[in-house]
Amino acid sequence: QLYRWEGGAFSPVFDLPTDSAYALSFFTVPCETTASDGQPCGSRTSEDLIFAANGEGVGSQIFRLTDAYLTLEATHAELTSGRPADAAANASLSPPAAARVMKLGAEAASEFYADRTLQLDAELFEEVVAFGAAPAVPRTVPVQGSSEGALGADGAVAFGDSRVLVAGNLSVRVFDPHLSNVTASMSPRFALSPGAAAALAVGEAPAVVNASEGFALSVRAVDDLGNFQPAVAVSAVTATVEGDASILVENNVAVLSGGTALFPNLTVAGTRSGIRLRFEAAGLAPALSTPFDVAAPTTLQEGAAGDSVPVLSGGSATYPGSGTVIYVFGGLDPSLGPVNTLYRVDTSTLPFTVTEVGAASRRRSRALLALPNAPSPRYDHAAAVVQMGGGDSLVVLGGCDASGAALSGARRLDLTALTWSDLGVADGPGRCKHGAVVAVPTTSGAPSLDGTTTIVVFG
């Protein structure tokens, strides 16, 4: 029931003729020449409307509110032309799109919608993409040509030459641009195919590559609208530097098959700035990559002899998420078997600084250098660094012992106090060769085990 506030009190005005509304919106539309009741606007500059939503889509209703009465005006826009035929992109939709604005059931809302407009667009559900490319996210694409039409006195509109330029699986959608709360209507899905291959297109190049070091780019065939065309093969696609063919580009020839050519190991000699690669193939217009720089080759520097983590299989290497330190725990030593030692690797300088945590002497056997109360020797365990008690803690979960049996439970190392403790986690049967990740809430700061963060273990 609707009430009016007047004279300092509420008084009932109307019983809304719907029994399933869960939300109401009150809004105003301008009155320009003719009001929704068919009369001239006169001194009226706007009309008050009520949108009643019931969650059923086409059951939502729009009412016109005046001082004396409440009138049902519209519930939905309905596409009446059915499913468009499969065709090529940019072909005219057949049959041409047609629509009308409806009240409940089959009653046309002609009185309210005469001289107003409906519009067309298309929902793209599955785009034709190159092999290996990420699937396109469903999105709205425009309709070219006749995409807007004025409703006649019967509340209906026939669109003329309407076309969609993108190839893929689509639905045409009709909607009211002025009253967005009126439910839209969509056609059954139909398919638009790409045209003949007309040109090459290339993926985005890295912003910087290193001289004489390989990088990858992919090239695809497209029609004159930019749609990927898989039904084409070319024996050779060649890459050169645009404007300077003297610059050496190695591994620069690839076969285009299924509409795609992959250059997995392109290399460019010398240092350059802002160059582009030009890709050419017989019968297709060439394509240019995005600009990129070529920097000097990288150099690698290893740690000094004796200042490294020993050979370990199945150990864990964990980074806290900030700073320059990596923690390496446990693993299978080829001469000692499983170990439970901890290494602190500082990456702030080259060579790295490796410290065996808790060791009194580097000359002692690694099997004897574990911290007090450390987990038993193990390998193929999982580990994660989280915030506990105001500092970083390393949590070790499961693993395999010397006999290959799976271990259970979770142990925590306070990385400030260097003390181990049992977290008392009863995780059922033991596990090894599993994974663990820290799930950090987006509304909090650093990882925490104070009830706001979860370690997810799988396998």
Please say whether the beta carbons of 432 and 407 come within 8 A: yes
What pLDDT score does 146 carry?
A: 92
108 belongs to a structural domain: no
Residues 333, 417: one domain? yes
Please spell the DSSP secondary structure of 288-321, one letter per residue.
Answer: EPPPEEEEPPP---PPPTT-SPPP-BS-EEE--S
Report the distance separating Cα 290 and Cα 18, nearest Å: 58
SS (H, E, C) 332-399: EECCCEEEEEEEEEECCCCCCEEEECCCCCCCCCHHHCCCCCCCCCEECCEEEEEEECCEEEEEEEEE
252 belongs to a structural domain: yes
Closest C-alpha among 445, 455, 446 to residue 411: 455
Residues 340, 283: one domain? no
What pLDDT score does 125 carry?
A: 81
**Helix/strand/coil for 113:** helix
**Paired tokens of 17:** 């003729």
We report the CATH number of the domain holding residue 325 as 2.120.10.80
Domain encompassing residue 416: 316-359+367-458
Among 245, 261, 295, the domain boundary falls at 295
Residues 340, 215: one domain? no
We report the CATH number of the domain holding residue 225 as 2.60.40.10
**Paired tokens of 259:** 């509409």
Cβ-based neighbours of 3, under 8 Å, separated by 6 or more: 10, 11, 12, 13
Q: How far is CA 264 from CA 62, 214, 216, 219, in A?
A: 58, 8, 4, 11
Residues 353, 451: one domain? yes
80 belongs to a structural domain: no
Residues 263, 349: one domain? no
What pLDDT score does 274 carry?
A: 94
265 belongs to a structural domain: yes
Residue 92: burial class (beta carbons within 10 Å; 0-12, 13-18, 19+):
middle
Please spell the DSSP secondary structure of 239-268, one letter per residue.
Answer: EEETT-TTS-EES-EEEEBTTEEEEEEEEE
| Structural domain total, the chain | 2
Closest C-alpha among 381, 375, 373 to residue 397: 381
Residues 419, 329: one domain? yes
pTM: 0.52
Give 208-245 pLDDT, tens digit per residue.
Answer: 998 888 899 999 999 999 999 999 999 999 999 999 98
The number of CA neighbours under 13 Å toward the Cβ of 206 is: 16
Please say whether the beta carbons of 188 and 81 come within 8 A: no
147 belongs to a structural domain: no
Residues 326, 413: one domain? yes
What pLDDT score does 344 carry?
A: 84
Closest C-alpha among 124, 107, 101, 111 to residue 179: 101
What pLDDT score does 43 carry?
A: 76
Strands 61-65 and 46-53: antiparallel
Residue 416: burial class (beta carbons within 10 Å; 0-12, 13-18, 19+):
exposed
Residues 320, 447: one domain? yes
Residues 345, 213: one domain? no
91 belongs to a structural domain: no
Residues 271, 225: one domain? yes
What pLDDT score does 60 carry?
A: 58
Among 264, 295, 326, the domain boundary falls at 295
422 belongs to a structural domain: yes
Report the distance separating Cα 51 and Cα 206, nearest Å: 51
Residues 291, 322: one domain? no
Alpha carbon 262 to its chain's center: 24
What pLDDT score does 304 carry?
A: 46
Give 110-167 pLDDT, tens digit per residue.
Answer: 555 555 678 888 888 877 665 555 556 678 889 999 998 887 877 788 998 999 999 9
Please say whether the beta carbons of 124 and 97 come within 8 A: no
Residue 130: CB atoms within 10 A of its CB come to 21
Residues 440, 353: one domain? yes
Which residue type sits at 398? G
Positions of the chain with pLDDT lower than 50, given as ranges: 56-58, 68, 180-181, 303-306, 359-369, 444, 446, 449
444 belongs to a structural domain: yes
